[in-house]
Chain A
Amino acid sequence: MLNKNALKTLLIVVPLVTLAACKSGPTDAELEAEANSQAEAAAQQVAEAEAAADAEAKRVDVAKADALQKAKDMFENEKATLVAQNVVYFDFDQASVKSDFHAVLDMHAAFLVKNPGQSIVVEGHCDNRGTPEYNIALGERRAQSVETYLMNAGVSSAQVSVVSYGEEKPAVQGGSEYAFAQNRRGIVVYQ
């Protein structure tokens, strides 16, 4: 019986002694943890550096995008300005560009020269006097004279094409002088 009790005591004490003995230096586990935390710190440093680099790159990208957006806005604004004044009018049975419209066509030309990727279609239209077939021919001649004006101002022929609608797409209905004048026109259509 006694032996049994002594054994019980021993079983309890020995582990305690062993535990106390351990306090004297770092265990393997402690060392490993230490190493891990150092690696973590290093990794964090790298990550921070990377994040900083990313942030910097992003800042540059944003600046670039801003610049691009600004350029795009400018392009769109300029284009919108031009689209708002894209009609030139012709005299009866005439196809030559009147000097009144040189300034506006010069603006279109400058924009097209600056933006060689931009293409346009020049539409030629007529009033409804004369026959539809003759007016198709006259409308083409009008569109071509606008095309020639733009090309003389430096626009590439690759950017410009022409189509004549003759008297088929009037801007104003009817047979009045006002309608006739509004319908004899060339339109610069941005694609």
Chain B
Amino acid sequence: MATWILKFSSKQVTIMAAAVLLFFNFQLNAATNEIIITGGIESARPIGVVPFKYLGNTSLPENLSEVVASDLQRSGKFSPLKLSLMPQFPTTDTEINYAAWAQKGIDMVLVGSVESTGLNQYLVTFELVDVLRAQATGGQAKTLENGKLVMTRDHVIEKRTKTINGGDFRQYAHIISDIVYEKLTGQRGAFLTRIAYIKVLDRDTNPKPYRLVIADYDNVNPTTLLSSPEPLMSPTWSPDGNTLAYVSFENKRSQIYLQDIYTTSRTRLTDFPGINGAPNFSPDGKKLAMVLSKDGNPEIYIMDLQTRNLTRITRNRAIDTEPSWTPDGKSLIFTSERGGKPQIYQVNLATNRKSRLTFEGEMNLGGAITPDNSQLVIVNRTRGDYHIAKQDLKNGDMLVLTNTYLDESPSISPNGSMIIYSVLEYGKPALAWVSLDGRFSFKEPVADGEVKSPSWSPFLL
């Protein structure tokens, strides 16, 4: 597979499109993270994301179109055309030379403008244009409306105008990406989501090397919620996106905590002897599945978050761990060694009937079910290699999705399109992403520390 380095950073933009700078006022320190695409760019749909024209004298807080291009790139569904290859830089539909774009193999073009309208106020306008449709209709389609022939511009798939604050640029860029993504794929976009993960700095030089971090879905704006001298593990989101559950060893043993991400106030939920681990919220947010070994070995329990009452789900001498709710909240899937090696099982919570789901490979661990209830995402071990895989829940077909090293901790985006997971990169855990069809994958360059246990938030709006 081809490896591309695609960076939407200021330097390259400057080099690629110095001429553009004569006409467009760019914000040059926009925060977009560099990614290393490891596969699948050839299957992505080309799209033209033209730099939005800026009408104003102050410097812009963020480059909207750059963030949109980065979002579409990261979805794996789109391949934004490089600025240096763009035939023109139109601001509105009427300025688009349809033939010029079609000639470049681009059938969709996003154009727009930003106008400074007051103190920290900006009017943002954008249009998503179907170039091929526009070519076919000459930009003016005739349709019958109430028995009359009227002219329409149905090649403009979406046009919106909105006034935003300077602080909302990045969020609004993600909203534009969500709109473009949904219009062109039929699937809800997940660009306005977040991730949580554990970062471990050098343990020899940092008194508190273990960090609980939340960031935008693209790992921009990372915020440390908690620093600890002892390990932190297993962050997981409540369905409303307000609370994280995680495991902390700050008292030299594992305990489960709940933390409000906005107020940062935290509550210790469990302090049982032995393992307190692997928390996972029920889809209604009222219960937390977890692993406790207070009775001798790791078993799955469900805690009612209001009454704090525990229900024991497994009763087995083997290891049972990694509970994860099915989307309907009626079952849990979990990892169990009851058959010898770790495999994925499902338990119906009404009947307590358990069934084994995975049979392929030496081990299958860390299972989670996609939001549409069609696929089981797992860590599969085959011939000693650990990779992220998916298994079709209807026909049982398994497909290995990754070819990175020591893959673990997969977490599915709320729209079911991407999986974030942890890999070992140059001996250090780092973040990687793969699309659910396995075609598109990318990873982050090695950061200043280990990054692991990623967890993708639910939809936040």
Q: Which residues of A contact B (CB under 8 A)?
A: 121, 128-134, 136-138, 140-141, 162-166, 168-169, 173-176, 179
Known A132-B452, A133-B234, A140-B274; further 5 A-B contacts with Cβ < 8 A: A129-B386, A133-B322, A140-B293, A163-B253, A175-B424
Residue among A137, A173, A174 making CB contact with B319, cutoff 8 Å: A137
B302 at interface, CB cutoff 8 A: no
Are the CB atoms of B405 and A140 closer together than 8 Å? Answer: no
Tally chain B residues at the interface, Cβ within 8 Å: 37
Are the CB atoms of A138 and B319 closer together than 8 Å? Answer: yes
Interface residues of B in 258-285 (CB under 8 A from A): 274-275, 277-278
* Residues from chain A with Cβ under 8 Å of B424 in the complex: 128, 174-175
Q: Which 3 A-B pairs have the closest CB atoms?
A: A174-B427, A168-B231, A137-B319
Complex Cα distance, B209 from A173, in Å, reads 15
* Residues from chain B with Cβ under 8 Å of A140 in the complex: 274-275, 293, 297-298
Q: Chain B nearest CB: distance from A91 CB in Å? A: 14
Interface residues of B in 270-324 (CB under 8 A from A): 274-275, 277-278, 291, 293, 297-298, 319, 321-322
Complex Cα distance, B366 from A129, in Å, reads 13
Complex Cα distance, B424 from A176, in Å, reads 11
Q: Chain A nearest CB: distance from B171 CB in Å? A: 32
Complex Cα distance, B233 from A134, in Å, reads 12
Complex Cα distance, B291 from A134, in Å, reads 11
Closest A residue, CB atoms, query B293: A140
Q: Chain B nearest CB: distance from A96 CB in Å? A: 15
Are the CB atoms of A131 and B231 closer together than 8 Å? Answer: no
Q: Chain B nearest CB: distance from A74 CB in Å? A: 29
- Contact A134 B252, CB 8 Å, known A129-B386, A175-B427: no
A-B contact count (CB 8 A): 92
Are the CB atoms of B278 and A128 closer together than 8 Å? Answer: no
- Contact A132 B453, CB 8 Å, known A140-B274, A140-B298: yes
Are the CB atoms of B291 and A128 closer together than 8 Å? Answer: no
Residue among B278, B335, B406 making CB contact with A129, cutoff 8 Å: B406
* Residues from chain B with Cβ under 8 Å of A129 in the complex: 386, 406
- Contact A131 B249, CB 8 Å, known A168-B233, A174-B427, A175-B424: no
Are the CB atoms of A130 and B233 closer together than 8 Å? Answer: no
B429 at interface, CB cutoff 8 A: yes
B37 at interface, CB cutoff 8 A: no
* Residues from chain B with Cβ under 8 Å of A138 in the complex: 319
Closest A residue, CB atoms, query B379: A131
- Contact A134 B335, CB 8 Å, known A140-B274, A174-B427: yes
Q: Chain B nearest CB: distance from A131 CB in Å? A: 4
Chain B positions 360 through 386: 1 when the CB is less than 8 Å from some CB of chain A, otherwise 0: 000101100000000000010100001
* Residues from chain A with Cβ under 8 Å of B80 in the complex: none
Q: Chain B nearest CB: distance from A125 CB in Å? A: 11
Are the CB atoms of B231 and A137 closer together than 8 Å? Answer: no
Complex Cα distance, B322 from A138, in Å, reads 13
Residue among B253, B278, B386, B429 making CB contact with A133, cutoff 8 Å: B278
Complex Cα distance, B319 from A121, in Å, reads 22
Q: Chain B nearest CB: distance from A168 CB in Å? A: 4
- Please list 14 pairs of residues, one from A and one from B, whose beta carbons are closer than 8 Å in the complex, sorted by A's number: A130-B342, A132-B408, A133-B335, A134-B322, A136-B277, A136-B298, A137-B291, A138-B319, A140-B274, A140-B275, A141-B319, A163-B249, A168-B231, A168-B249
Are the CB atoms of A134 and B321 closer together than 8 Å? Answer: yes
* Residues from chain A with Cβ under 8 Å of B203 in the complex: 169
Complex Cα distance, B253 from A165, in Å, reads 8
Closest A residue, CB atoms, query B276: A136
Q: Chain A nearest CB: distance from B227 CB in Å? A: 15
Complex Cα distance, B453 from A136, in Å, reads 14
Complex Cα distance, B399 from A65, in Å, reads 72
Q: Chain A nearest CB: distance from B387 CB in Å? A: 12
Are the CB atoms of B363 and A169 closer together than 8 Å? Answer: no
B409 at interface, CB cutoff 8 A: yes
* Residues from chain A with Cβ under 8 Å of B7 in the complex: none
Q: Chain B nearest CB: distance from A163 CB in Å? A: 5
Are the CB atoms of B427 and A133 closer together than 8 Å? Answer: no
Complex Cα distance, B278 from A133, in Å, reads 6
Q: Chain B nearest CB: distance from A26 CB in Å? A: 83
* Residues from chain A with Cβ under 8 Å of B291 in the complex: 133, 136-137
Interface residues of B in 225-264 (CB under 8 A from A): 231, 233-234, 249, 252-254
Complex Cα distance, B297 from A132, in Å, reads 16
Residue among B253, B275, B277, B365 making CB contact with A130, cutoff 8 Å: B365
Closest A residue, CB atoms, query B385: A129
Complex Cα distance, B253 from A121, in Å, reads 11
Are the CB atoms of B298 and A169 closer together than 8 Å? Answer: no
Closest B residue, CB atoms, query A123: B252
Are the CB atoms of B366 and A133 closer together than 8 Å? Answer: yes
